[in-house]
């Protein structure tokens, strides 16, 4: 149970515009998986496990139907886990005690900036990297001391690592050959995978005669022909261009929903992470900063680091102090004034987080946070990201505008902005940890 | 300007080609001339009446000719094979593992290349004698192979370093052991460098005559360089026959070079010559 | 030049022995020889006859001449050598010293000189002695037999004699020939009265003996000195100046000039019989005096003899085989089929030989020839004598100073061995060093890091061990043992530990001038010059071609590339010999080219500058394709974007090369340049085969000098090894320095 941290259910409004649930909704409709060979022994376990986070389930009702069908069977069987894994190169600690577990059929995403240890963690799972301390378990077996070939995993590499001297067919069959699978079965599985990934026309080509996207598919296919305990992805999309990346991303998720293979996916791209994950592990400097379903991480970033990292455009952060004005406790921060959560002593330095998507022009019945002076716009067509500042010395703020507000906005204008107080995030400026109302 | 440059480039290339080919034509002419070295100076030794007398003398005047040619081929192929088979794992380890003694070993190997053979030839003879390998093809192959190994190791180590590690990692994850991944994935990827290294090892054995002349006694065990060298030895100066023989020994290597032409550039660049 | 290396190499192999193989037992007989062609066939014919008659099994092994001595020296002490072996008498001294031979068993020495005063045992009395034995048709010619006597004991049965004689083309010289003056003068340019190897010490010996001088005196001291020596040098000088003999004549040229009728006569040996006798009108005569009434010109005599290997003479079958080969029937067969000049009296006047009068003529010549001294120091005379001869022929030195130089060089080579030193301090130092090493190793092995690192290294060792072991055995051990021999002096039978004496002697130029000919320092300067010239040309030509052939629009790229790598593909000894031929003064292509443009032909190997240039030209030819290929590879590896960026930035083609391509190429080429430097520094083949150190060893580089010391100059193995160690140290330090400079320059 990696995500043992329980967050209070103080948000119930599900109108946020994060892309993840939408995509899931679409994917959730996809038909049953055609290839019997890929159906895991156990049906897909839901990533929104009822056990610890009823709130999360409530937050994504659209998902309940398709996934709950699958989750009717036993839930939460551990497939891959790490306990207190440490590793250092010389005096540099790379992993400072990673705990981690992925359940049967779950799509886990490890995300974080470069150098945070996520790739090392993945490689340690694969056995490509030795660890100094702790243990790794795959399929209920302690594999800490086993070489990669005995761990029964499949992996997709960032560089694809296609065998240049083998044809696509040879690449797809390689893993099965190594495991002495009968040739007939190899042929069948290669056939199945190539059909699924649309590789049929290229089976006899060598990798160098393929385009980047095709190579990526072969790399995926090579992993998928295998029947492995877990499928590892090491930034598999980073070599593709933006358009291709988002379409392949979608396909990966679709595929996962169809075959429900236990997957561990490493990326530094938080959009990718949010889109794909059943559960997210946000890494920072060799530690897991936060883990949980993407919506939970998005809605309740546990620290400033997570708040900054998850969400695009990034959360606006302003620093201020708690001040008591009459019987109301408020935080005055860089020209903005927001209500302080209860229980904070006066004078405490607090970082206030406001997601651009939560900010909106101040309505008649609302109390304004302050006035933003716009100095730059990013027009995205259907919406506008307006950059501005509330006070000359204050931080740059971003607000997302749509509809009329978007059309009327002009650089140089000022606008009174407001936010649903429930959507405010507070962090202790000293520790960077999330502050909750008491 | 561009034209001038092209003309200059061609002029250079043509001049170099003439420089490179002239001695070869000279040997060729000598081989076909009925008299061997003609007694007056000629720029073009090609006789007006070319004859195959020298070639005939080379083959027919020597009852062991075909055996000796065979020896050269067998020994050179065996040398290259043994050297490559031994150098491959060693250079792989040097490229992929960091281990105690790797640097020292590499440096020592480089140093052995700087020690003139004059001083080590004698003890080498003694060792082969102890092993009972004097006057045997096996002994010669072992000696040639060991002299070819250091260069082969440097060459292959460089080649392995250019092969992405992920390729192997993918194979391990796919269930291959280290050795299996090495054989099924790394070796095929290093093919050009292996071909070039093979060619060099082959050439070193094919061209060697100092050790061959000392370690071999039976005439039927000679290699071609020994045969050729004896043609122009102390009391013989059968230059025409020598030239015919020179063509015989040069043609296989030239053919191999031609075949390896593409790999030569790639293999050398990827290989140890670079580092 | 290889030819002179080879016999030397043999001597080196003396140092070694180990007895693991079993010797021949029972009635299995082994005979070794170095004959080829007709001589070898005749010998085998004789042996087969013997085997068929007696039922013994005889193994006849034709050992290459070059390695013959070394093989005997290695095999006989082990007991796996031959029972009998055939060898020239002048090696007897060496074989006696090394204890490889036994006297002829008394039953086989017919002892026909009994009763003769041994005091008369000098060449001048051979005729007398033969006359005394007159009518005696038994036994061997006295001159031949005498060459094999040591302390009144006969070592070896004479099989054949070889000496120089005069071949006369009777079509051109019908009349009697009382002196060399009687040969007709050249009819036109390109024809000669007499062809002989005028630069070879062996042929020069004729004139040395004619002038009453000698190579070595009977007591083994240097004989070529004084007025007689000057006289000998002057006579060849006059002969060369007369234009009646070809200059720089090799054995091949001599026989060719003669066979083409362009020389009225030639001086050559029995090895030329086969070809010469195929022509009509050729007569062989003993060499007449230089001038009418002058002293006889007497060549060296080599007696090829059948020797009994140590410990083998007692066996009956061995004696039987010796008798069958050396005595009458065998002798006849060898004469008839192998054209050997057999010094056997029983063959006198035999009808079968009547139609080969040349054999008789050679036998006659042999009777007045001077047996080559068989002392160990004989081999040290060839180089000084040849040097003096060539210096005079080239006009570099007067006969007087040339003779003085010859003696000096002989003494230099045969200088007494350094005094033996106690190896104790060295052993102690070595022991202390290994103890220290062991201590360091032990301490490090106890460090935890080291232990962990070792454990982590274990899987890697599985991959390297086999190659490492083989390298250690076949490269490491010989290298270490070889380096250790540099602390010894003397021959293999009596090695003497001398500590650093060899090094001291080398570095102080043996007490002579520090930059004198043949000194370490001078050779070092030549070597550095050689390396610098070659590497500079290799890189310049290779890189220019690489750049030209990498031009994207270059036509015929592949065509050029295929042709230009050819020099690399041809075996280097073949190319080196071909280049040597091309630089030949008389029929070389280079001089032909010069003459075509009206330039006087050049004696390429007569002067340091031209000989050096010839070596460099050869080596550049051999080496530039490598750099061309490396350059092409490096250019292929250059990032194309950088060049494009530079041209967008407005760089001209030259600027792009100067500021972008070139700086990027340097680091890629640097390792190859280092490698090329090491190869060139130790490029033995070219120097040895092309100039052979000519003139006078001035173009020798350190490696060829090491070879000369180890193999040709009385086999001073330890001295040669010390050279090798110095070369090694120079290269290690030099490449490290170059590497550091190169890295600094590129960073």
What confidence score (pLDDT) does residue A204 get? Answer: 93
- Of the candidates B109, B210, B265, the beta carbon closest to that of C633 is on B265
What confidence score (pLDDT) does residue B267 get? Answer: 63
pLDDT of C107 higher than 50 = yes
Residue C221 gets the label, from left (phi > 0), alpha (psi -120 to 50) or beta, of beta
Residue A105 gets the label, from left (phi > 0), alpha (psi -120 to 50) or beta, of left
Could you report the per-residue pLDDT of C682-702, keeping only the tens digit for each? 888 888 888 887 777 788 899
Residue C344 DSSP symbol: B
Q: How far is B151 from chain A (nearest CA, A)?
A: 26
Q: A176 and A319 in one domain?
A: no
Task: Provide the token pair at A214.
Answer: 């095709």
Q: Give residue A77's Cα distance to chain centre.
A: 21
Contact criterion met (CB below 8 Å) for C104 and C152: no
Of C480, C431, C400, C491, nearest to C717 (Cα)? C491
Would you call B202 an interface residue with chain C, using a CB distance cutoff of 8 Å? no
What confidence score (pLDDT) does residue A298 get? Answer: 93
Residue C511 gets the label, from left (phi > 0), alpha (psi -120 to 50) or beta, of left
Q: Which residue of A has its CA nearest to B179?
A: A149
Question: What is the rounded radius of gyration, in angstroms, for the C-alpha atoms of chain A?
Answer: 24
pLDDT of A266 higher than 90 = yes
- Here the CATH number for the domain that contains residue A147 is 3.40.50.300
Are A149 and B164 within 8 A, CB to CB? Answer: no
Common-topology check for domains C19-161+303-371 and C162-301+374-413: yes
The whole-angstrom separation of Cα C302 and Cα C370 is 9
pLDDT of B243 higher than 50 = yes
Q: Please compute the mean of the pLDDT values over residues B213-221 and round it to a whole number.
A: 74
pLDDT of C396 higher than 70 = yes
Model confidence band, residue A316 (pLDDT cutoffs 50, 70, 90): very high
Decide the pairing of beta strands C192-195 and C300-309.
unpaired
Selected residue with higher pLDDT from B225 and B234: B225
CB-side neighbour CA atoms (13 Å) of A150: 11
pLDDT of A344 higher than 70 = yes
Mean pLDDT of chain C: 81
Q: Which residue of B has its CA nearest to C717?
A: B119
Are B175 and A159 within 8 A, CB to CB? Answer: no
CA distances from C42 to A319, A338, C65, C308, C611 (A): 111, 119, 18, 20, 43
Which of B36, B42, B118 should be substituted to probe chain C, the one whose Cβ sees the most C Cβ atoms within 10 Å?
A: B118
Are B122 and C12 within 8 A, CB to CB? Answer: yes
- Domain contains A438: no
Q: What does the CA dihedral B147, B152, B157, B159 come to, rounded to 10 degrees?
A: 170
Decide the pairing of beta strands C84-88 and C300-309.
antiparallel
Could you report the per-residue pLDDT of A42-61, keeping only the tens digit for each? 333 333 333 333 333 333 33
Would you call B188 an interface residue with chain A, using a CB distance cutoff of 8 Å? yes
Would you call A286 an interface residue with chain B, using a CB distance cutoff of 8 Å? no
Other beta carbons within 10 angstroms of residue C15's beta carbon come to 24
The whole-angstrom separation of Cα C296 and Cα C303 is 20
Boundaries of every domain in chain C? 19-161+303-371, 162-301+374-413, 535-711
Q: Please compute the mean of the pLDDT values over residues C445-468 and round it to a whole number.
A: 81
CA distances from B49 to B33, C234, C651, C731 (A): 7, 43, 58, 51
Model confidence band, residue C606 (pLDDT cutoffs 50, 70, 90): confident
Q: How far is B273 from chain A (nearest CA, A)?
A: 24
What confidence score (pLDDT) does residue B44 get? Answer: 65
Of A159, A146, A155, A158, nearest to A174 (Cα)? A155
Q: How far is A236 from chain B (nearest CA, A)?
A: 13
Q: Please state the ipTM of this predicted complex.
A: 0.86
CA geometry: angle A178, A184, A188, nearest 5 deg: 95
Total count of domains within chain A:
2
- Domain contains A306: no
Subunit partners of chain A (3 or more CB pairs within 8 A): B
Task: Provide the token pair at A312.
Answer: 């695009």
What confidence score (pLDDT) does residue A32 get? Answer: 36
Are B170 and A164 within 8 A, CB to CB? Answer: no
- Domain contains A230: yes
Candidate from A4-13, C30-39, C211-220 with smallest mean pLDDT: A4-13
Model confidence band, residue B103 (pLDDT cutoffs 50, 70, 90): confident
Could you report the per-residue pLDDT of C221-236, keeping only the tens digit for each? 888 988 999 999 999 9
Would you call A206 an interface residue with chain B, using a CB distance cutoff of 8 Å? no
Other beta carbons within 10 angstroms of residue B178's beta carbon come to 20
Q: A275 and A402 in one domain?
A: no
Decide the pairing of beta strands A92-103 and A78-89.
antiparallel
pLDDT of A41 higher than 90 = no
**What angle do the packed helices B137-161 and C448-471 form, to 10 degrees?**
140
Would you call A215 an interface residue with chain B, using a CB distance cutoff of 8 Å? no
Are A149 and B172 within 8 A, CB to CB? Answer: yes
What confidence score (pLDDT) does residue C433 get? Answer: 92
Could you report the per-residue pLDDT of C572-581, keeping only the tens digit for each? 888 888 888 8
- The burial of C556, by beta-carbon neighbours within 10 Å (0-12 exposed, 13-18 middle, 19 or more buried), is given as middle
Model confidence band, residue A27 (pLDDT cutoffs 50, 70, 90): very low
Could you report the per-residue pLDDT of B183-201, keeping only the tens digit for each? 999 999 888 889 888 988 9
Contact criterion met (CB below 8 Å) for C637 and C550: no
Task: Provide the token pair at B46.
Answer: 């090609």
Q: What is the DSSP string of C416-453?
A: PPPPP--SHHHHHHHHHHHHHHHHHHHHHHHSHHHHHH
Phi, psi of C497 (to 5 degrees): -75, 120
Are B170 and A126 within 8 A, CB to CB? Answer: no
List CB contacts (< 8 A) between B27 and chain C.
Answer: 574, 578
What confidence score (pLDDT) does residue A154 get? Answer: 92
Would you call A127 an interface residue with chain B, using a CB distance cutoff of 8 Å? yes
Q: A157 and A100 in one domain?
A: yes
Give strand ranges (E) for A132-182: 133-138, 141-142, 153-156
Model confidence band, residue B36 (pLDDT cutoffs 50, 70, 90): low
Are B164 and A232 within 8 A, CB to CB? Answer: no
What confidence score (pLDDT) does residue C249 get? Answer: 81
Are A128 and B173 within 8 A, CB to CB? Answer: yes
- Of the candidates C466, C587, C633, the beta carbon closest to that of B37 is on C587
CATH of region C19-161+303-371: 3.40.190.10
Q: How far is B78 from chain C (nearest CA, A)?
A: 16
Largest CA distance in chain C: 104
Question: What is the rounded radius of gyration, in angstroms, for the C-alpha atoms of chain C?
Answer: 30
What confidence score (pLDDT) does residue A137 get? Answer: 93
Model confidence band, residue B81 (pLDDT cutoffs 50, 70, 90): very high
Contact criterion met (CB below 8 Å) for C358 and C273: yes
Q: A270 and A294 in one domain?
A: yes
- Of the candidates A128, A149, A164, the beta carbon closest to that of B189 is on A164
Residues 6+ apart with CB under 8 A from C289: C178, C179, C180, C210, C295, C296, C297
Other beta carbons within 10 angstroms of residue A382's beta carbon come to 8
Peptide bond into C274 cis (omega under 30): no
Q: Which domain holds residue A330?
A: 313-428
Could you report the per-residue pLDDT of C472-494, keeping only the tens digit for each? 888 888 888 888 888 888 766 66
Domains and CATH numbers, chain B: 2-51 (no CATH), 63-269 (1.10.3720.10)
What confidence score (pLDDT) does residue C615 get? Answer: 93
Contact criterion met (CB below 8 Å) for B12 and C540: no
| Cβ pairs bridging A and B (under 8 Å) | 67
Contact criterion met (CB below 8 Å) for A93 and A70: no
Q: How far is B144 from chain A (nearest CA, A)?
A: 31
Contact criterion met (CB below 8 Å) for C618 and C687: no
CA geometry: angle A184, A188, A194, nearest 5 deg: 140
Q: Please compute the mean of the pLDDT values over residues A373-392 and round it to a whole number.
A: 88
- The burial of A395, by beta-carbon neighbours within 10 Å (0-12 exposed, 13-18 middle, 19 or more buried), is given as middle
Q: How far is B32 from chain C (nearest CA, A)?
A: 15
What confidence score (pLDDT) does residue B42 get? Answer: 61
Contact criterion met (CB below 8 Å) for A425 and A353: yes
Q: How far is A217 from chain B (nearest CA, A)?
A: 15
Q: Which residue of A has its CA nearest to B170?
A: A161
Q: A289 and A368 in one domain?
A: no
Boundary-marking domain end, from A245, A269, A299: A299
Q: Sheet with A370-379: list strands edge to edge.
A: A360-361, A414-418, A370-379, A384-389, A396-401
- Domain contains A119: yes
Selected residue with higher pLDDT from C642 and A245: A245
What confidence score (pLDDT) does residue C747 get? Answer: 65
pLDDT of C105 higher than 50 = yes
CATH architecture of the domain covering C162-301+374-413: 3-Layer(aba) Sandwich (3.40)
HEC per residue, B41-73: CCCCCCCCCCCCHHHHHHHHCCCCHHHHHHHHH
Beta-bridged to residue B251, according to DSSP, are none
List CB contacts (< 8 A) between B35 and chain C.
Answer: 256, 260
Are C471 and B150 within 8 A, CB to CB? Answer: yes
Q: Which residue of A has its CA nearest to B171?
A: A175
Decide the pairing of beta strands A396-401 and A384-389.
antiparallel
Model confidence band, residue B45 (pLDDT cutoffs 50, 70, 90): low
What confidence score (pLDDT) does residue C617 get? Answer: 94
Of C668, C683, C664, C662, nearest to C731 (Cα)? C683
Contact criterion met (CB below 8 Å) for C268 and C164: yes
Q: Please compute the mean of the pLDDT values over residues C594-604 and round it to a whole number.
A: 83
Of C679, C671, C690, C689, nearest to C727 (Cα)? C679
Residue count (chain A): 438
What confidence score (pLDDT) does residue C314 get? Answer: 76
- Here the CATH number for the domain that contains residue A317 is 2.40.50.140
Are C486 and B9 within 8 A, CB to CB? Answer: no
pLDDT of A264 higher than 90 = yes
Are C566 and B20 within 8 A, CB to CB? Answer: yes
Q: A325 and A277 in one domain?
A: no
Could you report the per-residue pLDDT of C14-69, keeping only the tens digit for each? 333 332 333 334 478 889 988 877 888 899 899 999 888 888 888 888 776 666 77
Decide the pairing of beta strands C300-309 and C370-371.
parallel
What confidence score (pLDDT) does residue C432 get? Answer: 93
Peptide bond into B19 cis (omega under 30): no
pLDDT of C162 higher than 60 = yes
What confidence score (pLDDT) does residue B78 get? Answer: 94
Q: A369 and A294 in one domain?
A: no
Selected residue with higher pLDDT from A168 and C13: A168
- Domain contains A436: no
Q: A326 and A290 in one domain?
A: no
CB-side neighbour CA atoms (13 Å) of A335: 17
Q: A92 and A121 in one domain?
A: yes
Of chain B residues 97-136, which have a CB less than 8 A from chain A?
none
The whole-angstrom separation of Cα C81 and Cα C102 is 14
Which of A150, A161, A190, A216 should be substituted to probe chain B, the one whose Cβ sees the most B Cβ atoms within 10 Å?
A: A161
Task: Provide the token pair at C147.
Answer: 């060459």
Q: Please compute the mean of the pLDDT values over residues C636-643 and round it to a whole number.
A: 77
Q: A319 and A290 in one domain?
A: no
The whole-angstrom separation of Cα B9 and Cα C557 is 11
pLDDT of B8 higher than 50 = yes
Residue with token string 């015929």: C556
Are A163 and B166 within 8 A, CB to CB? Answer: no
Could you report the per-residue pLDDT of A59-70, keeping only the tens digit for each? 333 333 333 333
Could you report the per-residue pLDDT of C300-311, keeping only the tens digit for each? 988 999 999 888
CB-based burial, C189-206: b 16+ in 10 Å, e otherwise: eebbbbbbbbbbbbbbbb
Would you call A128 an interface residue with chain B, using a CB distance cutoff of 8 Å? yes
Are C706 and B126 within 8 A, CB to CB? Answer: no
Selected residue with higher pLDDT from C402 and A4: C402
Q: A337 and A286 in one domain?
A: no
First to last CA, chain B: 37
Q: Which residue of A has its CA nearest to B185?
A: A163
pLDDT of A29 higher than 50 = no
Q: A364 and A269 in one domain?
A: no
Contact criterion met (CB below 8 Å) for A290 and A284: no
The whole-angstrom separation of Cα B2 and Cα B11 is 14
CATH of region C535-711: 1.10.3720.10
Subunit partners of chain C (3 or more CB pairs within 8 A): B
What confidence score (pLDDT) does residue A59 get? Answer: 36
């Amino acid at each position: 149970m990696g995500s043992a941290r329980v967050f209070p259910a103080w948000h119930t409004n599900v109108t946020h515009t994060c892309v993840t649930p939408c995509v899931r909704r679409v994917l959730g409709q996809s038909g049953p998986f055609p290839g019997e060979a890929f159906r895991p022994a156990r049906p897909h376990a839901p990533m929104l496990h009822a056990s610890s986070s009823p709130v999360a389930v409530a937050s994504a009702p659209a998902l309940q139907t398709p996934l709950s069908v699958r989750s009717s069977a036993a839930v939460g069987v551990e497939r891959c886990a790490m306990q207190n894994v440490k590793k250092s190169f010389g005096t540099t600690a790379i992993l400072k005690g990673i705990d981690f577990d992925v359940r049967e059929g779950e799509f886990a995403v490890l995300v974080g900036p470069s150098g945070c240890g996520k790739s090392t963690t993945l490689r340690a799972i694969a056995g490509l990297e030795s660890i100094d301390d702790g243990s790794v378990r795959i399929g209920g077996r302690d594999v800490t001391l086993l070489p990669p070939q005995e761990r029964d995993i499949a992996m997709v590499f960032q560089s694809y690592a296609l065998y240049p001297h083998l044809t696509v067919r040879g690449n797809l069959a390689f893993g099965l050959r190594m495991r002495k699978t009968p040739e007939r079965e190899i042929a069948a599985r290669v056939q199945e995978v190539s059909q699924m990934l649309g590789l049929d026309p290229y089976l006899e080509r060598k990798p160098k005669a393929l385009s980047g996207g095709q190579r990526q598919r072969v790399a995926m296919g090579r992993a998928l022909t295998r029947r492995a305990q877990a499928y590892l992805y090491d930034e598999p999309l980073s070599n593709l261009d933006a358009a291709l990346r988002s379409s392949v991303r979608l396909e990966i998720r679709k595929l996962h929903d169809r075959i429900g293979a236990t997957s561990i996916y490493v990326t530094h791209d938080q959009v990718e992470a949010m889109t794909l994950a059943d559960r997210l592990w946000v890494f920072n400097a060799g530690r897991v900063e936060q883990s949980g379903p993407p919506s939970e991480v998005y809605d309740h970033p546990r620290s400033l680091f997570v708040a900054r990292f998850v969400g695009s455009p990034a959360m606006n952060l302003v620093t201020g102090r708690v001040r008591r004005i009459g019987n109301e406790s408020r935080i005055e921060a860089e020209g903005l004034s927001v209500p302080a959560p209860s229980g904070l002593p006066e004078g405490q330095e607090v970082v206030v987080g406001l997601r651009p998507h939560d900010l909106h022009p101040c309505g008649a019945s609302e109390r304004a946070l302050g006035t933003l002076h716009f100095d730059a716009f990013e027009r995205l067509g259907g919406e506008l990201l307006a950059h501005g500042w509330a006070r000359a010395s204050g931080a740059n703020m971003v607000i997302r505008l749509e509809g009329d507000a978007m059309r009327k906005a002009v650089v140089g204008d000022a606008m009174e902005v407001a936010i649903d107080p429930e959507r405010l995030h507070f962090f202790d400026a000293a520790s960077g940890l999330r502050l909750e109302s008491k | 300007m561009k034209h001038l440059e092209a003309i200059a480039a061609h002029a250079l290339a043509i001049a170099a080609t003439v420089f490179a080919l002239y001695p070869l034509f000279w040997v060729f002419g000598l081989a076909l001339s009925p008299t061997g070295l003609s007694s007056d100076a000629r720029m073009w030794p090609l006789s007006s009446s070319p004859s195959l007398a020298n070639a005939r003398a080379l083959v027919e005047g020597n009852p062991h000719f075909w055996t000796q040619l065979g020896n050269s081929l067998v020994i050179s192929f065996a040398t290259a094979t043994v050297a490559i088979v031994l150098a491959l794992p060693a250079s792989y380890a040097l490229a992929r593992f960091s281990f105690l003694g790797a640097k020292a070993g590499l440096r020592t190997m480089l140093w052995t290349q700087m020690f003139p053979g004059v001083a080590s030839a004698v003890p080498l003879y003694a060792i082969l004698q102890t092993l009972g390998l004097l006057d045997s093809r096996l002994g010669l192959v072992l000696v040639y192979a060991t002299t070819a190994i250091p260069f082969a190791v440097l060459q292959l180590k460089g080649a392995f370093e250019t092969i992405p590690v992920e390729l192997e990692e993918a194979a391990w994850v796919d269930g291959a052991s280290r050795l299996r991944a090495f054989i099924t994935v790394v070796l095929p990827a290093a093919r050009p460098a292996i071909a070039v290294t093979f060619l060099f090892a082959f050439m070193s054995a094919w061209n060697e005559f100092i050790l061959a002349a000392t370690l071999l006694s039976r005439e039927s065990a000679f290699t071609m360089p020994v045969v050729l060298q004896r043609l122009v030895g102390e009391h013989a100066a059968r230059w025409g026959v020598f030239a015919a023989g020179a063509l015989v020994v040069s043609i296989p290597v030239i053919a191999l070079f031609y075949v390896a032409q593409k790999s030569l550039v790639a293999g050398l660049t990827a290989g140890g010559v670079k580092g | 030049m290889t030819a002179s290396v080879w016999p030397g190499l043999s001597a080196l192999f003396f140092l070694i022995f180990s007895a693991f193989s079993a010797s021949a037992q029972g009635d299995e007989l082994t005979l070794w020889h170095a004959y080829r062609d007709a001589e070898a066939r005749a010998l085998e014919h004789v042996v087969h006859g013997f085997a068929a008659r007696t039922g013994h099994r005889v193994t006849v092994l034709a050992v290459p001449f070059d390695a013959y001595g070394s093989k005997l020296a290695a095999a006989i002490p082990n007991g796996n050598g031959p029972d009998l072996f055939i060898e020239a008498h002048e090696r007897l001294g060496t074989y006696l010293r090394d204890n490889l031979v036994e006297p002829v068993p008394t039953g086989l020495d017919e002892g026909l000189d009994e009763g003769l005063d041994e005091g008369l045992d000098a060449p001048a009395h051979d005729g007398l002695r033969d006359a005394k034995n007159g009518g005696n048709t038994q036994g061997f010619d006295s001159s031949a037999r005498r060459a094999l006597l040591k302390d009144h004991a006969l070592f070896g049965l004479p099989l054949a004699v070889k000496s120089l004689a005069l071949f006369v083309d009777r079509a051109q010289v019908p009349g009697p020939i009382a002196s060399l003056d009687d040969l007709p003068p050249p009819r036109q340019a390109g024809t000669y009265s007499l062809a002989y190897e005028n630069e070879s010490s062996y042929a020069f010996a004729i004139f040395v003996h004619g002038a009453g001088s000698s190579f070595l005196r009977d007591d083994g001291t240097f004989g070529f000195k004084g007025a007689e020596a000057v006289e000998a040098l002057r006579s060849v000088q006059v002969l060369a100046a007369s234009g009646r003999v070809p200059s720089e004549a090799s054995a091949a040229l001599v026989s060719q000039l003669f066979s083409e009728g362009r020389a009225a006569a030639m001086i050559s040996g029995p090895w030329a019989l086969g070809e010469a006798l195929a022509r009509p009108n050729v007569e062989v005569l003993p060499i007449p005096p230089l001038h009418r009434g002058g002293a006889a010109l007497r060549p060296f005599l080599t007696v090829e003899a059948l020797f009994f290997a140590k410990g083998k003479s007692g066996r009956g079958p061995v004696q039987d085989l010796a008798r069958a080969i050396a005595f009458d029937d065998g002798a006849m067969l060898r004469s008839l089929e192998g054209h050997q000049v057999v010094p056997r009296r029983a063959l006198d006047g035999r009808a079968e030989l009547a139609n080969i009068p040349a054999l008789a003529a050679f036998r006659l010549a042999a009777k007045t020839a001077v047996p080559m001294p068989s002392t160990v120091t004989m081999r040290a005379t060839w180089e000084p004598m040849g040097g003096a001869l060539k210096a005079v022929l080239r006009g570099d030195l007067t006969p007087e100073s040339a003779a003085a130089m010859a003696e000096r060089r002989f003494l230099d080579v045969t200088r007494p061995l350094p005094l033996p030193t106690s190896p104790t301090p060295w052993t102690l130092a070595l022991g202390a060093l290994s103890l220290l090493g062991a201590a360091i190793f032990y301490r490090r092995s106890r460090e935890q890091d080291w232990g962990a690192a070792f454990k982590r290294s274990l899987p890697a060792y599985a991959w390297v061990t086999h190659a490492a072991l083989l390298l250690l055995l076949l490269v490491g051990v010989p290298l270490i043992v070889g380096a250790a021999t540099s602390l010894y002096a003397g021959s293999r039978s009596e090695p003497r530990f001398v500590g650093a004496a060899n090094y001291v002697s080398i570095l102080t130029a043996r007490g002579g001038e520090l930059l004198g000919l043949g000194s370490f320092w001078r050779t070092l300067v030549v070597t550095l010059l050689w390396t610098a010239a070659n590497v500079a040309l290799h890189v310049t030509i290779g890189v220019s071609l690489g750049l030209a052939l990498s031009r994207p629009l270059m036509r015929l790229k592949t065509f050029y590339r295929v042709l230009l790598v050819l020099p690399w593909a041809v075996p280097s000894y073949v190319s080196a010999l071909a280049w040597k031929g091309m630089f030949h003064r008389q029929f070389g292509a280079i001089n032909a080219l010069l003459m075509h443009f009206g330039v006087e032909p050049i004696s390429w190997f007569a002067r340091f500058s031209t000989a050096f240039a010839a070596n460099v030209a050869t080596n550049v030819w051999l080496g530039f394709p490598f750099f061309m290929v490396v350059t092409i590879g490096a250019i292929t590896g250059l990032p194309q974007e950088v060049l494009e960026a530079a041209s967008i930035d407005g760089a001209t083609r030259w600027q792009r090369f100067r500021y972008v391509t070139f700086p990027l190429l340097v680091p890629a080429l640097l390792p190859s340049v280092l490698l090329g430097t090491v190869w060139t520094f130790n490029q033995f083949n070219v120097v040895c085969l092309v100039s052979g150190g000519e003139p006078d060893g001035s173009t020798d580089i350190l490696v060829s000098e090491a070879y000369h010391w180890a193999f040709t100059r009385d086999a001073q193995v330890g001295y040669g090894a010390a050279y090798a160690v110095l070369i090694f140290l120079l290269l290690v330090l030099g490449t490290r320095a170059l590497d550091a400079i190169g890295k600094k320059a590129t960073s």
